[in-house]
Chain A
Amino acid sequence: MKGFTHFLCGIAVATAFGLAVDAAAEHMAQIIILGGIFGYMPDFLDFKVARFLEDYDYEVDPTLEGDINAQRIAELFVEAIHKARDTGKYTNIKFNTMKIGADTWRQYGIMVDNENKRIIVKIGPLVTTGKSPIPETTPPDEEGIGVAHYDAELEHTYEAWTYADIMSGPDYGLVPQPKEGNIRLDFIPWHRKWSHSLTCGLAVAPFGLLAYLGISWLFAGSDWVFNPELAVVVFMICLYAYWLHVIVDQFGVMGSNLFPPFTKKRSQGLSLFHSGLSIANFGTNWISVAVILYNLNYFADERVFGTNPVKYFVLTTIIPLTILVLIRYFWLKKTRPKQEDDKEEQKFLEKIDEIMEYGSGDNV
């Protein structure tokens, strides 16, 4: 799911605590914000921290070289595949982006053509940070394409271009699987490794409590009194918001490693949709807003509307979202040919969506 969707889910969790809503309305407390922050936290830890702490066996770095050679990049990828095959050890490779100027990057694409056992690299045009290509900057094919053949069995079914263009580039983990007799190609292997887990939530939530205690002490000064009941609520908000992020992500394809360090592998998601799907994000946000409004009304001193939850959620959530889903279903049926996406492809799309969350106004 998109970061904002998780943020809003976290806010919805926070409003489920009457004490937090009451403190916000009566004493201008800002506790509810913590729900949003901790709802967003797992993605923050992955995409804004963990990815920069990863060490790579192989690294393509055109900025460092000051030049880009498609053939060399393709050969390096093949070398990494062969190393994983020969050593039987996990090997990873990172494709760094090539920064040309303050707002200019050189795009290049990588494709794993598993059917023909080859890696294809193609140098693309210069692009702006908004990914807009600059005309007439694509090199001619004889300089811009590199092909290298590998001799290994790869488990990778998504045959499409992955691009390294702006900010941090893509990376792959090559996981030898002796039982299957092949090498699994993991895209952004550091994602959902430990951050999207229930155990990590337990470890991180106390920091939310500390932040609350610190800030409230700062503003209250000598009048500060420790309120154990509110402290427990703050801890619960941080923990449940974090956990809800982990749970919501299980509806996607990728799943996550739920109990590290006790478990090592990512469990499979429920595969109901991939995380970047507009309607899934919109629907989840709709539900979150409905929950927030219900809770604000429920815990208000003077309620604005009736509190029958069945009636409320049927009217505000189930009926509108059903209509929306039906409109989308019939619209797609009418306008697009039926596509049978396989699970691996969906999983790859989900990762692409998450790594590409940048956009949608983020670049403003």
Chain B
Amino acid sequence: MHFYIVALLFAIAGTFVAAGVSCFLPGLHVYNVMGFVVLFYLPFIDVVEPFLMLMFLAGMVTGFGILFTISTIYYSAPDDTTAFYFMPTQKYLMVGRGHEAAMFAGIGGLMGLFALVIILPFFMGFLATLRELVGPHIHWLLGSIIAFLLISEWPREYGRSKMHMFDLDMSYKGDLDKGRIPEALKTGISEWKKPLGRDVVITKPRNFEWEIGDGRRTYIIHETSPLKDTTTGEFKSPPRLMVLNRTPKWYRLKEAYKSNAAGVLTFALASWLGMLVFFKTMVPPDRAFQTLMPTFVGLFATSAIVLAFISRVKVPKQHLAKCYDLDTETIAKGSGSGALAGIFAAFIPAVTPGVSGTLGGNATGLRDDKIFIMNGGTNRVVYYVGAIALFLLPLLHLRRGGMAINVNLFFVPQTTEQFLLITAAIAICGFISFVMLIYASKFVAKLVERIQYQYLNLIVLCIIIAIIFLMTSWQGLGLMFVATMIGLVPVMWNSRRLNLLAVILVPIWLNMAGVGPMIAEMMGLA
């Protein structure tokens, strides 16, 4: 058989493996699967030509890029790259449009593959120049990204300026209207705060509100609105007199920043975990190459599963649409911004699609769930598949992240022909993956309807725990448990999940800035 055909068959086989893992072993990260495949391959390196193995991995990565959206949407098991569009896809799932969300991400992925196969080769000279230029500056680039992530999180509470102290009986309303201060009000205030002074004045600056003060302190008595049932005419909620205290400004800031504090805590804990994993071998030494696996699975997948499990989510009947409401403009905006974000992530170390997608969304000012999901689909495909394409791209041969660690063990890129063959394989595998996505998504959409979602989550959790134990022993399970607890902080306190990516950003930034070992020593890790 012709070598090209054999190579393409290897790539297609990789795609089928990715499909199986994405649909039946949710939560696994592509680079961890890749690590195991390479581990099994190395003894057979003389039997199977390295380039064929690379084709297999290229097919696998392409399949993962397109099909992993199944795990994210239907099993609530995102990874670090799909966590970016996890929330909008969950919204779609909860209104019975999970399949539609999967298709948007899939179409985004196809557009990403198109960009890689057709457009990327024209930019090899530019990318080589860019690498040479920004190489010495990656450390502050990462620092800038971290700074932006930290300062750009919005306070999610509204900083209330009044605080409820106690209720006053409605019978006192007449006294208030006549300008008399009921004794019950004075007593109530003195039980909560310091008693009012002698010169107490009562005013009515607004309808339904009185203010009582002694010149130093002011309290508000607010009459709540009575709500009537329109059919019976009866009060649904009778009016009350609420005694309110005007909150000081620092209190409003404190209240507003509760979720941000959770965000900073998440960032700090994830950074600590990252430093721990980078500077200490937490799993058995022979599995050291899988150290990040339990960490990522814990931070992103198991935490989401645990939340879905305890929140007793009921997945509604899924509508399997035959056509999708997508216009050219949405596709162009979603995939354009996603492709830029993906290539940025593929190019800059430690930047994953979650981070680059956020930056890309901010940079282009795009705001729409469909664009967001498409952007995510394009972004992760360009990131994963782009890592292989950039590795083989003549003039560049960029070695980045988990892909480079695995592939460097057995393969050195040499010819332009190899690059062209890989791009052909990526295009073919992308098409096959997309077709598989259509059917796999429909199949799993029916599955989540039939099997109670809680059971499904439990099954997924058991599968993940078993895999982690098999791959990294009980130490890995411990690491996953800690990571899960940290992963739950943002979901429980409604802060930004993206802060979890500090697990990789911070240690790499500190190392590149030359202070990593020093800080590890300060933390007692080295």
Contact = CB atoms under 8 A, between A and B. Distances in A.
Nearest to A286: B363
B374 interface: no
B364 A30 contact: no
Contacts of B404: none
A122 B287 CA distance: 59
A360 interface: yes
A25 B137 contact: yes
Interface of B: 83-88, 91, 95, 129-130, 132-134, 136-137, 139-140, 143-144, 147-148, 151-162, 164, 205-208, 222, 224-225, 227, 230, 237, 242, 244, 249, 252-253, 256, 329, 333, 354, 357-367, 369, 372, 492, 494, 496-498, 512-515, 518
Contacts of B147: 33, 36-37
16 contacts: A8-B363, A25-B136, A33-B143, A48-B155, A56-B161, A65-B242, A99-B157, A130-B91, A132-B88, A167-B156, A300-B133, A359-B361, A362-B358, A363-B87, A364-B83, A364-B87
B154 A167 contact: yes
A134 B161 CA distance: 28
A207 interface: no
B358 A128 contact: no
A65 B156 contact: no
A3 B515 contact: no
B367 A360 contact: yes
A278 B87 contact: no
B357 A32 contact: no
A25 B359 CA distance: 24
B139 A30 contact: yes
Interface of A: 2-5, 7-8, 11, 21, 24-25, 28-33, 36-37, 40, 44, 47-49, 51-53, 55-59, 61, 63-67, 69, 72, 75-76, 79, 94, 96-97, 99, 102-103, 128-130, 132, 135, 140, 142-143, 166-169, 219, 276-278, 280-282, 285, 293, 296-297, 300, 304-305, 331, 335, 356-364
A364 B362 contact: no
B160 A364 contact: no
Contact of A32 (B133, B144, B205, B244): B144
A331 B157 CA distance: 40
A280 B164 CA distance: 45
B158 A97 contact: yes
Contact of B252 (A53, A63, A66): A53
Contacts of B144: 7, 11, 32-33, 36
Contact of B256 (A7, A25, A168): A168
B225 A4 contact: no
Contact of B155 (A69, A75, A168): A168
Contacts of B512: 28
A67 B225 contact: yes
Contact of A128 (B86, B91, B207, B497): B91
Nearest to B376: A361
A99 B258 CA distance: 14
A57 B521 CA distance: 54
B253 A276 contact: no
Contacts of B95: 132, 135
Contacts of B359: 4
Contact of A362 (B154, B157, B230, B366): B154
A360 B366 contact: yes
Contacts of A297: 133
Nearest to B357: A361
A363 B496 contact: yes
